[in-house]
Structure 1
Amino acid sequence: MNEETEGRRPNPVDLHVGGRVRMRRKLLGVSQEQLAESLGLTFQQVQKYERGANRVSASKLYEIAKTLQVPVSFFFDGLADPMGGSEADEVGLHAERVVQEFLTTPEGIELAEVFPRIGRGKVRRQVLDLVRAMADDSVRGDAA
């Protein structure tokens, strides 16, 4: 790698768009290979798009939107409106990132599908308490 590309960080918009591609793809149960094939790309190229390492051209984003059955604007949801003159709400951006990270894991998608089916609020809170305790224990275990 040369000096110009070695220290290059992905543009935040490219990261956001790539994350939205990944989230939608996973929600539909489409593999990177399947998406790549439908777009005439390699799965490595789809990986690069999803990581924000490569920018998605307008025509390719249009094809991705068509394949994943969403409007092109879906990929920009959660970003500040460039014409609005206001910055995106930090709390909203954080919440969007948390949901996006959660939904990029197979377990997250499955949990998101089944959790609302737990009818009793008390049981949902108990599940949440259990997950929090496991996460806290995991963090303490990493520090030890």
Structure 2
Amino acid sequence: MSEDTEGRRPNPVDLHVGGRVRMRRKLMGVSQEQLADSLGLTFQQVQKYERGANRVSASKLYDIAKTLQVPVSFFFEGLADPMSGAEIDATAQHAEKVVQEFLTTPEGLELAEVFPRIGRGRVRRQVLDLVRAMADEAQRPEVA
């Protein structure tokens, strides 16, 4: 491998688009293999798209949008508008990343589906407090 390609990092736009593909695929309950089959690709190629390791061509992104039943613009939501010259707010970018990471886990997706069904705000708050306490506990070093 040449020095130019060794250690190259994926373009942030490719990472964003790939993350949105992964999020939408998971929200629809579609496996990488199923998406790949519908696009005439291997599941490894879909993996590379989702990781941002390979760029998605315009025609393939159109096919992905059609398969996942979203407008092509869905994959660019959350990115700064290149015509405005303004950068996306770092807080908004962080929130988008957190939501994407959460929804791409099977447990996160299920939690997102069932959590709103908890009708009482007090109970939802207790669930949140429990999850926070568990996360804090997981962060603490074990004492022998």
Q: Provide the TM-score with structure 2 as the length reference.
A: 0.96
Shift of 1:4: 2.5
Which sections of structure 2, spanning at least 5 residues, go unmatched? none
Cα RMSD after superposing both structures:
1.4
Partner of 2:13: 13
Point out 4+ residue stretches in structure 1 off by more than 4 angstroms.
none
* Partner SS, residue 66 of structure 2: helix
CA distance in 2 between partners of 1:125 and 1:3 (Å): 52
Would the alpha carbon gap of residues 68 and 142 (structure 1) be closer, same or farther in structure 2, given more than 3 Å must change? Answer: farther
Are residues 1:69 and 2:69 paired?
yes
Partner of 1:51: 51
Deviations 1:55-99 (A, max 9, x none): 000000000000000000000000000001111111111111100
CA distance in 2 between partners of 1:85 and 1:5 (Å): 29
Code of the aligned partner of 1:109: L
CA distance in 2 between partners of 1:142 and 1:93 (Å): 33
* Partner SS, residue 4 of structure 2: helix
CA distance in 1 between partners of 2:49 and 2:140 (Å): 35
* Mapping of residues 34-49 of structure 1, within 5 Å: 34-49=34-49
Q: Provide the TM-score with structure 1 as the length reference.
A: 0.96
Deviations 1:85-121 (A, max 9, x none): 1111111111111000000100000000000000011
Which has the higher mean CA deviation after the structures are superposed, 99-108 or 134-143?
A: 134-143
Partner of 1:104: 104
Which sections of structure 1, spanning at least 5 residues, go unmatched? none
Partner of 1:86: 86
Shift of 1:143: 9.5
* Partner SS, residue 5 of structure 1: coil
